[in-house]
Amino acid sequence: MATLLFLLLFFGLLACGMPIFLVLGTCAALLYLVSGEPLIGAAQLVITQLNSTTLMALPLFVMTAAFMRFGGVAKALVDLAAAWLGGVRGSLGLVTVVACTLFAAICGSSVATALAMGSILVPAMIERGYPRSFALGVVGASGTIGIVIPPSLALILYGIVAEQSVPRLFLAGILPGLLQAAAFFLWVLYDARRRNFPVEPALPFAERMRITGHALPALIVPVTVMVGIYGGIVTVTEAAALSAVVSLLVSLFFYRGFHWTETLRIVADGIRSAATIMLIVATALAFGHWMTLSGVPSQLVRFTVDHGFSTWEFLLAINVLLLVLGCFLEVTATLLLVLPILAPALKPLGVDPVHFSIIFTHNMEIGLVHPPVGLNLFVLSTISQAPIGEVIRGILPFLILLLVVLGIITYVPALTLWLPRMVFGG
Amino acid sequence: MIAPLDTTLRWWDRVEQFLIGLLGLVTLVIGIWQIVGRYFDPAHAISYAEEVIVYLVIWAIMIAASQLVARDGHVRSDMVLRLLPASAQRWAEIFNCIVALVFCFGLVWYGWQIVDTSLLLDERSSTDLQFPMWIYYTALPVGGALMAVRYAVRLVRYAFHYDPATMAVGRPGAHEMPLDMRETG
């Protein structure tokens, strides 16, 4: 009964349009009050937990994404993909998949990827005579690659909450991310032939090399991050700071996305972006801590074991739960609310936490494009002025592909675990 | 809204923005300094960069929280809200502001107690830096107070200056939007 009331309050406040950080903060405060814990303990807990160097990778990567948005980086990557894919039927659709994958390796946020790419590629595709629903669908779906390709904000948070090594999680995300990109690529290739999409002229080799050269500075960022982290040169947080600085400098001096006098304003904008996520993180931490204390996780394990759920049934149930939650909550919030309950249950049920991290984030991805309320759907509808139904129609085939990929990720653990085991052993 | 108050708020916003930008820039410089120092100039290398980054970023974020209130930039799902008639939306927003104000006062009150205790105990960080922790903790009550001011302004706007035509704009979270779509204070 009390649980039901509480859930009603939680979703009621969300429905009022209250900011998510405030909903979490208010509910956490109420829970502390009801259970007789002093509120100062909650405040102390939050400020202490925020004092974490690993956590700082998060705002720094968000800042990187913010800098990248101005620098003409997205444009350079689109040109790069277009230069090499010219001459293939439906090449602009393929360009979207490839450019989104590259951009995802830079910025770490799915919605930012969809936005940056959508504002360039959707008008371009419509102009060349692609159906608008297809253009929106491929951009929205490809944007979700951002959440598993490193550096991934979601995986950093997962690493902190589930106490896993972030570099290991990053490696685990690469193959599933590429599998998803490949599935999209093949589908677009097929769809382009079926519906006879236009062909772009192939560029001469010298032109291709020139465009590749122009895109190189943008590609420095993911290379620095990967080499830095896996070469053991820098920590994840240092890599985040490095990528923020490199992206700022590249945008400022190479692509000249903004004047240097605007630097403070751009940095402030990056911090504001980071703040939206960090406030949710802070309040969700208090919430999650209460959740762990309340003994819900151990009850969950007992329930699952008592009812004879097998591991795969457990995973299936989790998939469904996450898809439903992803329709209502934002990625960070879902992760921080659900993970403290699930993380302790993984070991007893024989689920590898690294494997689970990718299942988890892939679910979040689907939530981003899943009707009725995936965030990417709304972003695309906003930037293109298209009705939401059209976006949904365009995204449907990709949604099915995403569900198939989710199935593969869930039931073929080797796909996620092979690469981290190769590199780190274990 | 009354003109002098608007001017004050505009200047307030600029000061906040300047502070955030400065804190962010110093963060980046210190981060690079640590990496470069470690490999190229060990004599001047610093070991406490990551610790200082935490203090700077948390301070910047707590100030930015106030700016996000003014820009309606805090992530929320306003799908249900936008289905309501304008007058109901107004009451929902007023309700949100009041809850936010209570929350912010809690942040200031308990934040201050943490700062006070830390001062009393002369709490220092356990690193070489021996950083006085009360400076870091102060971000909590200051952030709460700054946000409270913005929420109070928002409350007044919704209570006395509500224009259903302009107030009802639904948008995704600020961190997901490009600059040109959200630079409206």
What does the DSSP assignment read for A224-268?
Answer: HHHHHHHTTSS-HHHHHHHHHHHHHHIIIIIS--S-GGGHHHHHH
Per-position DSSP letters for A180-202, written without gaps between them: HHHHHHHHHHHHHHHHT--BPPP
CA gap A81, A91 in Å, rounded: 9
Kindly give, in sequence order, each residue whose CB lies less than 8 Å from that of residue B160, ignoring residues fewer than 6 positions away.
Answer: none
User: What pLDDT does B100 receive?
Assistant: 96
User: What pLDDT does A190 receive?
Assistant: 93
Task: Please say if the pLDDT value at position B96 is more than 90.
Answer: yes
Query: Residue A267: closest CA among chain B residues belongs to which residue?
Result: B21
- CB < 8 Å from A in window 64-103 of B: 64-65, 67-68, 71, 73-82, 89, 92-93, 95-96, 99-100, 103
Kindly give, in sequence order, each residue whose CB lies less than 8 Å from that of residue A159, ignoring residues fewer than 6 positions away.
Answer: A54, A165, A166, A169, A357
Handedness of CA B96, B97, B102, B107 (dihedral sign): positive
Residue type, A224: T
User: What pLDDT does B169 receive?
Assistant: 37
- Give CA torsion, residues A322, A287, A58, A297, to 10 deg: -50
Facing residue for B175 by CB, picked from A60, A62, A119? A62
Distance between B180 CA and the closest CA of chain A, angstroms: 10
CA gap A174, A111 in Å, rounded: 19
Q: What is the mean pLDDT of chain B?
A: 83
CA gap A54, A240 in Å, rounded: 10
User: What pLDDT does A385 receive?
Assistant: 78
Structure tokens at B34: 């640590």
Per-position DSSP letters for A127-171, written without gaps between them: HTT--HHHHHHHHHHHHGGGGTSSS-HHHHHHHHHTT--HHHHHH
Cβ of A379 within 8 Å of Cβ of B172? The answer is: yes
Alpha-helix runs per DSSP H in A128-152: 132-143
Cβ of A119 within 8 Å of Cβ of B177? The answer is: no
**pLDDT tens by residue, A394-407:** 999 999 999 999 99
Q: Does residue A36 come out as left (phi exceeding 0), alpha (psi in the -120 to 50 range) or beta?
A: left
User: What pLDDT does B166 receive?
Assistant: 55
Phi, then psi, of B10 in degrees rounded to 5: -65, -45
Structure tokens at B82: 């936008």
Q: Testing the interface with A: which of B112, B135, B176 to mutate, by most A Cβ within 10 A?
A: B176
Whether residue B26 lies within 8 A of chain A, CB to CB, comes out as: no
Q: Which residues of B touch A69 (CB under 8 A)?
A: 178-179
User: What pLDDT does B182 receive?
Assistant: 38
User: What pLDDT does A330 receive?
Assistant: 67
Kindly give, in sequence order, each residue whose CB lies less than 8 Å from that of residue B153, ignoring residues fewer than 6 positions away.
Answer: B9, B70
Alpha carbon A302 to chain centroid distance? 32
Q: Tell me which DSSP letter residue A88 carries.
A: S
Cβ of A330 within 8 Å of Cβ of B74? The answer is: no
Digitized pLDDT (tens) for each residue of chain A, 426 residues in all: 667 787 788 888 888 888 888 998 998 898 888 888 888 888 998 898 889 888 888 888 888 877 877 767 778 888 888 888 888 888 889 988 988 888 877 776 677 777 778 878 888 888 888 899 999 999 888 888 877 888 888 898 899 888 889 999 999 999 999 999 999 999 999 999 998 888 888 888 898 999 898 888 888 888 888 888 888 888 888 888 998 998 888 888 888 877 888 888 889 988 988 888 888 888 888 887 777 777 666 777 777 777 777 777 877 888 787 777 766 666 777 888 788 778 877 877 788 899 999 988 888 888 878 776 677 787 777 777 788 788 889 999 999 999 999 999 988 989 999 999 988 876
**pLDDT tens by residue, B100-131:** 999 999 999 999 999 999 999 999 988 888 89
Query: Residue A69: closest CA among chain B residues belongs to which residue?
Result: B178
Q: Which residues of B touch A70 (CB under 8 A)?
A: 179
User: What is the model's pTM?
Assistant: 0.83
User: What pLDDT does B164 receive?
Assistant: 65
Residue A366 and residue A154 in contact, taking contact as beta carbons nearer than 8 Å: no
Q: What is the mean pLDDT of residues B145-156?
A: 93
What ipTM describes this predicted complex?
0.85
Q: Which residues of A touch B113 (CB under 8 A)?
A: 40, 43
User: What pLDDT does A138 receive?
Assistant: 92
User: What pLDDT does B117 receive?
Assistant: 94
Residue A144 and residue A368 in contact, taking contact as beta carbons nearer than 8 Å: yes
Buried b (16+ CB within 10 A) or exposed e, A242-258: bbbbbbbebbbebbebb
